Amino acid sequence: MKKLRWQIIIGILALAAVVLLILGQSQVGDTISQMIEPATGGVYVEALIGKPIRFNPLLDHYNQVDQDIDRLLFSRMIRFDSWGNPQPELAESFGVAVTGDIFNVKLRENAYWHDGTPVTTADVIFTIELMRNAEMPLPPDVAALWNSVEVVTLDAWNIQFRLPSQYSPFIDYLSFGILPKHILEGKSPQEIVNDPYNLLPVGSGPYQIGELLTEDEQITGIVLEAFEDYYLGQPYLDQIVVQYYDTTQDAFDAFQRGEVLGIGKVQPDVIDEVLAEPGLNVFSVRVPEQTIIFFNLGENGPLFLEDLEVRQALMMALNRPWMIDTVMDGQAVLSNSPIMVGSWAYFADLESYDYSPQEAIKLLRQQGYTLPADGSLVRQRDGAPLSFELVYPDTETFAQLAEMVQEYWREVGVEVSLVAVQPEVLVRDYLDTGLYDAALVSISLTNSPDPDPYPFWHQAMIVDGQNYSRWDDMLASEYLEKARITPNRTERARLYRSFQIHFSRQLPALPLFSSVYNYAIDSQVFGVQLGPLYDPADRFDHVLNWSLEGALPIEETPVPGGDTE
């Protein structure tokens, strides 16, 4: 049911900043915010990098800046904390039957749309019906799942979801943004896609659209006003104003001019300047994007990659911390598991493979891979050389990583030919077909807080699935299969721990590192709390607690310029 939930992303990695360096700054900010009594009022102005398209949670999948705004405008039944644990939002409570195939949700009875209309289960049903419609431009897995689930309205506040079989990761799918039936009912998907509603939407989140800031008929910013009747309480900040910029440098320049108080995403090219800026706190947190090397263990892969000791040697030959420091500018976190660091399912005490070319050479020798007498630097066994191709996306970052991998493996007597291809070609002609030796890629797990690794590692996903390594392992599959039908969180964690230990010992692929995300915000903004994020928009999950030092009444606070609509 979740075959396509995790998507391969091949491209320039979304990078952030040095975790340990900035961690200290974020901790200082948290400590200060706890000591100061929040002030009511004031305007917080944030710079976003990009351009708005549509403010609609069913249409924002491919535009991060729209997702950021939608998080403030719309409600979800369920949100997730930094560990990936589900928490109630619009839902007052939720639960799963012991059978694991029935989920019950009770909505809050004090929730209202920004126009004063109550939010009810009819709005949830309306939104789900849209997600079931093949004409809506949604990720394929979303429509497929909702067309397999029976949704039962018990009353205006209670709703039940009946699955065809046990499926614990279903909770992920309850975090969609809910649309108002009373406004959009009767419109086709195509009409909704092009509706003016998407620029001036009515939501049920903590903030509502105040006005659009424009210049030369282009949207340059948005004024969001606190919603007084928000079901979790009115925010301290009267307004949040967003200004759009083309680059992080432009946004940073605006901060230095005093035009903004925050930068939604700090790119590597300006991180040093941002870190050196007085009065600007930078939070650096892990995001679910992992760089990994897949081995082809199927019938089309090199025979020697089926040798566990060879895979272990290849891992020990890689100086991953140095790769992070040099290519990634320190902006990544070392990975030892396909489950993200910080998740409730992550097992921290895994066996790690530290950089040791000497041990790698020793392992290869023990397996009979020696240097031939003819002076070749490529190890052989029975006349067959340790030589294969590594395919990777044709980008500057991946090229640098691939060249480092090539050099590290050359040092232990393994010859690797590098093949750079376009991202879509890599997936279509190499990963999907299994016609490759090894592949250096990045996997995005964005918006998938449930750690379910089934799509990439279960035997059933080898054919027409995403088990790109063609790892045909019965024990791993058993752990994964049991985990996704086990509603008990403690038992699931135990199963995932066993899976991770087994994965670490077998190494069907080489996890390298996970990306991190930088968020910069003025030190006069208090109450900001960031842990690991499953989407950059998650930074607004605690926006109700944000406040400004010496906040002014809204009528005395200047709002950045532009015409308004």
Residue 398 to residue 421: CA distance in whole angstroms: 11
User: Residues of the chain whose pLDDT is less than 50?
Assistant: 1-34, 561, 564-565
Residue 246 to residue 244: CA distance in whole angstroms: 7
State the pTM of this model: 0.88
- For residue 538, which of 201, 83, 5 has the smallest C-alpha distance? 83
Strand partners, 513: 291, 334
- CB atoms < 10 A from the CB of 432, how many? 14
- For residue 297, which of 288, 282, 284, 310 has the smallest C-alpha distance? 310
| Three-class SS state of 391 | strand
DSSP track, 63-88: -HHHHHHHHHH--BSEEE-TTS-EEE
Residue 82 to residue 69: CA distance in whole angstroms: 20
Residue 364 to residue 40: CA distance in whole angstroms: 65
What is the model's pLDDT at position 473?
98
Instruction: Enter the tokens of residue 417.
Output: 């030919």
- CB atoms < 10 A from the CB of 354, how many? 10
In degrees and rounded to multiples of 5, residue 327 shows phi and psi of: -75, -40
Instruction: Enter the tokens of residue 232.
Output: 């979790």
Residue 488 to residue 486: CA distance in whole angstroms: 6
DSSP track, 85-137: -EEESSEEEEEE-TTSSEEEEEE-TT-B-TTSPBP-HHHHHHHHHHHH-TTS-
Q: What's the burial of 292, exposed, middle or buried (CB within 10 Å: 0-12/13-18/19+)?
A: buried
Residue 531 to residue 516: CA distance in whole angstroms: 11
Angle (nearest 5°) at CA 475 between 474 and 478: 85
DSSP track, 294-309: EE--STTS-GGGG-HH
Angle (nearest 5°) at CA 17 between 13 and 22: 160
DSSP 378: S
Mind listing the pLDDT tens digit for each residue in 208-249?
A: 999 999 999 899 999 999 999 999 999 999 999 999 999 999
In degrees and rounded to multiples of 5, residue 557 shows phi and psi of: -100, 120
Q: What angle do helix axes 357-366 and 308-316 make, rounded to 10 degrees? A: 160
Do residues 57 and 74 lie in contact, with contact meaning Cβ atoms separated by under 8 Å? Answer: yes
Residue 503 to residue 509: CA distance in whole angstroms: 9
Torsion angle, alpha carbons of 496, 497, 501, 504, to 10: 60
Residue 147 to residue 232: CA distance in whole angstroms: 32
Q: Name the residue ranges covered by the structural domains of the chain.
A: 75-200, 287-515
Q: Which residues contact 34 (CB under 8 A, 6 or more apart)?
A: none
- For residue 329, which of 10, 18, 24 has the smallest C-alpha distance? 18
What is the model's pLDDT at position 139?
86
Is domain 287-515 in CATH 3.10.105.10, yes or no? yes
CA 192 to chain CA centroid, nearest Å: 27
Residue 149 to residue 455: CA distance in whole angstroms: 19
Torsion over CA: 35, 37, 38, 41 (sign): negative
Instruction: Enter the tokens of residue 499.
Output: 């899976």
What is the model's pLDDT at position 351?
85
Say whether 287-515 and 75-200 share the same fold: no
Residue 348 to residue 333: CA distance in whole angstroms: 13
Residue with tokens 């996970």: 514
What is the model's pLDDT at position 557?
52
| Three-class SS state of 139 | coil
Q: What angle do helix axes 489-506 and 474-483 make, rounded to 10 degrees? A: 160
Is domain 75-200 in CATH 3.90.76.10, yes or no? yes
Instruction: Enter the tokens of residue 250.
Output: 């432009």
Compute the radius of gyration of the chain from its Cα atoms.
25
Torsion over CA: 533, 535, 541, 543 (sign): positive
| Three-class SS state of 453 | coil
